[in-house]
Amino acid sequence: MGEFDLIDRYFRRPARRAALGVGDDCALLNPTPGMQLAISSDLLLEGRHFLSTVDPHKLGHKALAVNLSDLAACGATPLAFTLALALPQADEAWLEGFSRGLFALADAHDCELIGGDTTRGPLAICITVFGEVPPGQALLRSGARPGDDLYVSGTLGDARLALEVFRGTRSVPQAVFNAARERMERPTPRIALGLALRGVATAAADISDGLAGDLGHILKASGTGACIDTSIAIQLIAARGHPALGTSSFEAEFWLECVLAGGDDYELVFTAPPDARRVVEAASAQAQTPVTRIGRIEAAPGLRLVDGAGQAVTRRFVSFDHFST
């Protein structure tokens, strides 16, 4: 199977929204008049961002999900994406699974594959995604203000737990592992929540490198600090409350490490003024996405952790950094 047969068989579908889709030198898009275009690009490498043993269907899902998550963080509506793919060989079973996983998520968000590139090489996936947002309504990292409430969506840290089990540093009952692995391999981009938070959240980011690190981007961009209640944060990891875990559990430090510095969560961290709590609740309900208030934005720079009684927790949690770790 040659390069162009491969594209035709697995990745070429009739253009819907695009004026011209896969198969020419460029794709052509007609932007909706008056809308801003939101653009994000992510590169995923085997062995770094995913394991070689991953189910290709799940990988197809995840490769697009991590990009859609960036659109969610901006409150943008997905439109289209390009896919640049390096493959060690044209493995039909792999391509079948990968493309099905990719298109299942793409179709769920009406996000169209419009072009890209294929080459032979170590497995690498680069997706660039396009969304749209009314001018001035994109959620940015820079809008947090002292006094704002601090929220996260969904659950955090389960992907990290699964990774630790894969690495062999921890072991958990099979049912706990299966659930955590599902979170690692099939993250849910919070598109509906991002849309519902337009005009409500003052700042937002997606959590890809760990809550502490991604919140840190908001704090830096906004020129503020924040305080997180660790007694609430520790409850965000679903595995900790899994019935199959029984009485065997880990020390609080490990759970907090997973929640605060886990990575691969693809939830949203966002801020909103306290007088918007009902509106945030309504946005959460509308998007059918749970959110948890975990702290507040403060004027003093830096991230502070407190326990349930408001006492400082001194442990530092370091976010994932591709060039420092």
Site for a second copy in 189-248 (CB under 8 A): 204-206, 221
Cα separation, 194 vs 213, in Å, equals 20
Say if CB 139 and CB 39 are below 8 A apart: no
**Angle of helix 92-108 versus helix 3-10 axis, rounded to 10:** 40
Instruction: Check residue 82 for interaction with a second copy (CB under 8 A).
Output: yes
Q: Are 208 and 261 in contact (CB under 8 A)?
A: no
86 binds a second copy per the rule CB under 8 A? yes
* Whether 75 contacts 194, CB under 8 Å: yes
Q: Smallest gap, in angstroms, from Cβ of residue 43 to a second copy?
A: 4
Is 84 among the residues that bind a second copy (CB under 8 A)? Answer: yes
Q: Residue 243 CB, nearest distance to a second copy (Å)?
A: 35
Under the binding rule (CB under 8 A), the answer on residue 117 touching a second copy is yes
Residue entry with tokens 């955590």: 180
b (16+ CB within 10 A) / e for 52-81: eebebbbbbbbbbbbbbbbbbbbbbbbbbb
Binding positions for a second copy, 33-72, rule CB under 8 A: 33-43, 45, 47-49, 70-71
Q: Is the Cβ of residue 47 or residue 310 nearer to a second copy in the bound state?
A: 47
Does 322 interact with a second copy (rule: CB under 8 A)? yes
Reduce the DSSP state of residue 203 to 3 states and report it.
strand
List the strands of the sheet with 203-207, edge to edge.
Answer: 203-207, 267-272, 149-153, 291-298, 225-229, 302-306, 312-313
Query: What does the block give as tokens for 156?
Result: 């955090």
d(CA 134, CA 149): 25
Q: According to CB under 8 A, which one of 22, 63, 65, 83 is a site residue for a second copy?
A: 83
Is position 108 an interface residue for a second copy (rule: CB under 8 A)?
no
Cβ 321 to a second copy shortest distance, Å: 5
Among 61, 109, 141, 296, binds a second copy (CB under 8 A): 141
Select from 28-36, 154-162, 294-302, 308-316 the region that touches a second copy (CB under 8 A). 28-36
Is the CB of 115 or the CB of 157 nearer to a second copy?
115
Answer yes or no: are the C-beta atoms of 170 and 280 closer than 8 Å. no
The least CB distance from residue 49 to a second copy, in Å, is 7
From candidates 11, 15, 22, 29, binder to a second copy by CB under 8 A: 29
The site for a second copy, by CB under 8 A, has a size of 72
* 27, 165, 237, 291: which one binds a second copy (CB under 8 A): 27
Residues 147-186, interacting with a second copy (CB under 8 A) = none
Question: Quick one: which of 92, 110, 307, 321 contacts a second copy (CB under 8 A)?
Answer: 321
The answer to whether residue 259 forms part of the interface with a second copy (CB under 8 A) is no
Stretch of 55-63, 76-84, 172-180, 283-291 lying at the interface with a second copy (CB under 8 A): 76-84
* Maximum CA extent, the chain: 64
CB atoms within 10 A of CB 18: 19
Nearer to a second copy, 36 or 292 (CB): 36
Number of other CB atoms surrounding residue 11 within 10 Å: 21
Q: How far is CA 212 from CA 136, 202, 217, 297, 322, in A?
A: 27, 18, 9, 13, 15
Point out which span in 168-176, 235-243, 252-260, 316-324 binds a second copy (CB under 8 A). Answer: 316-324
Least separation in angstroms between residue 198's CB and a second copy is 13
Closer to a second copy by Cβ: residue 56 or 115: 115
